[in-house]
Structure 1
Amino acid sequence: SAEAAFRGGPGAGVRRTELHAALHERAAALGIRTVAAKVGEIRQDQHTVTAAGLTARWLIAADGLHSPLRRVLGLDHPVPGPGRYGLRRHYPLAPWTDHVEVHWSRHGEAYVTPVGERLVGVAVLSRDRRPYDQHLAAFPALAARLADGPGATPVRGAGPLRQRALRRRAGRVLLVGDAAGYVDALTGEGIALAVATATAAVDCLSAGRPEDYPRRWARVTRRYRLLTAALLGAAGHPSSGRLIVAAAHRAPAVFRTAVRALQ
């Protein structure tokens, strides 16, 4: 095993539902208008774009991993090979550590995150499509810790995780977050990248230079894409995983540097 802490202090483990509620409350407090509508057709000309009955100068599409807007705009790019999938469940147990734990098996990885005083999230990422309990059985030490705690939530899943976009911009529409392309969840940077790419999009539009956004997107996401692709290659080979963990155990300073690169 190997252990490392973030440089700037601990992070925050929180359920996504609580985060969404906090974001919604903040937007409401700032007086931001929210429209509940489904975007289907997108129409745009030289000066405006129209979606869901609203017309504006620009549209930022942040509609997730399997972005319908990316598909409508003809920007989906097929990804060859077997896809990776994620499954997660929350358990009503007191966290046994204040770290995020990553457990490896020959089938995939399990990620354990403390998200409350008596709540632990356990997510599994794998190319093997099998029931959650079968995945969990591949991690005997972790399964033993969870044996006395019934699942607090149903199993939820997502995938395939790898997504590509032909471009990050189509006319007056800019793709941000997962909609702009996604490598994998194993480094846990989805929200950070969503914020970073959305900031880049807004900066480019504010400066009157939307044509700069694809380059800004590439620069903002480069470290994530390279590091995640490298770790994903190792995750696909159990022997590589064992070597990486052993090396991290023997060289903790190097491991800390790698972990802090994710901040």
Structure 2
Amino acid sequence: MIDLLVAGGGPAGLATAIHAALTGLDAVVLEPRPAPIDKACGEGLMPGAVHALATLGVPLAGHPIHGIRYLDDRHRAEGRFRREAGMGVRRTVLHAALSRRAAELGVPTLPRKVTAVHQDDDSVTAAGLTARYLVAADGLHSPVRRQLGLERPDPRPPRYGLRRHFAVAPWTDCVEVHWSALGEAYVTPLGPDLIGVAILTGERMPFDALLPAFPALLHRLAAQADLAASGVRGAGPMRRMVRARVAGRVLLVGDAAGYIDALTGEGLSLALTGAAHLVRCVRADRPQEYEQAWRRATRNHRLLTDALVRIRANPLLAPRIVPLATRAPALFTALVNRLT
């Protein structure tokens, strides 16, 4: 019998399957879309994610990132990574590298979609296959999570993400975060002549209509308008509240396990951490321990991100975020390194 059936062949699902294969478990990935799959993503891998991918034997090609820079119309704060560097990597490049590594380890990826899940005390069946456990790695809008009744309503206003690439030489070795009343714009260096610009906002507006809210960024890109290197991709609503990460023999990982916001750029790091804990619990045949392991591993990130999102939503406090980071550079650097 298959040990681990993975619903979803994105980074979270592939990382889970790779972890499983490296520990001797038999894993099968179910993904109807051919690799590589693109999606709206900031594409900045923090140092923890770079390290985790290296331990899985996944080589990366991209642009080194050495810190986080916050900017508004008058202030600038920069927190440098103290140890390892991060990396800006195109989503398609990352997905292709994970797919190759899974294939090297003999993990099959089948073009099937999970529409219904059936489980008993000993096994779980989905897409015509039966396994000891099923992993729901099917993303922010996880159909498996919804089918199992694990979603919770979110009373807060939704936030959305939009991303586009520009054939422009990076002007910094940091992820630059431009703040305005409408949201945040993330600039990630991805290569010698490529940057990604991702905008997070609560407004339902086109990418080009949002750019004027970030004058310094708009000024840099105005002369490069004809150098847009990709179309606009969107994602959201981002916040996903989840009742539990375990339901019998089904375990949730990555964005399917719950999501607060992309504000701190740690989505992939959390997915990789969750994948490692999930496989450890499955290998020990103690799936119920995964919930607490996930909560412990993500606690700091969840607390800090949730606090920052709440401050961001307060019209009196939000304008003070960048000035405070500018006046307290040591604190800002400490927080950057604590998160990454």
Question: Structure 1 length as normaliser, TM-score?
Answer: 0.97
**What one-letter code is carried by the residue in structure 2 that aligns with 1:146?**
L
Q: Which residue of 1 aligns with 2:141?
A: 66
1:1-263 equivalences under 5 Å are 1-149=76-224, 150=226, 151-263=228-340
Q: How far has the Cα of 1:237 moved from its partner?
A: 3.2
Distance 2:302 2:292 in 1: 14
SS at 1:184 equivalent? coil
RMSD: 1.1
CA-CA distance at 1:239 after TM superposition:
4.2
SS at match of 1:69: helix
Q: Aligned residues, how many?
A: 263
- Identity fraction in percent: 58
Structure 2: 5+ residue stretches without partners: 1-75
Alignment partners' CA distance in 2, 1:167 and 1:10: 33
Give, in angstroms, the shift of residue 238 of structure 1: 4.9
Runs of 4+ in 1 over 6 A off after TM superposition: none
Render the CA deviation track for 1:109-142: whole Å, top value 9, x for unaligned. Answer: 1000001111110010011111111111101110
Conserved in 2, the CA contact under 8 Å of 1:177 and 1:193? Answer: yes
Q: Is the 8 A contact 1:4 1:252 kept in 2?
A: yes
Tell me how far apart the structure 2 counterparts of residues 156 and 239 of structure 1 sit (CA, whole Å): 31
How far 1:143 sits from its partner (Å)? Answer: 0.5
Which one has the bigger strand percentage?
Answer: 2
Deviates more, 1:142-151 or 1:240-249: 240-249
TM-score, L = length of structure 2 = 0.75
Which residues of structure 1 form unaligned runs of 5+?
none
Distance, in Å, in 1 between the alignment partners of 2:239 and 2:190 is 26
Cα shift at 1:209: 1.4
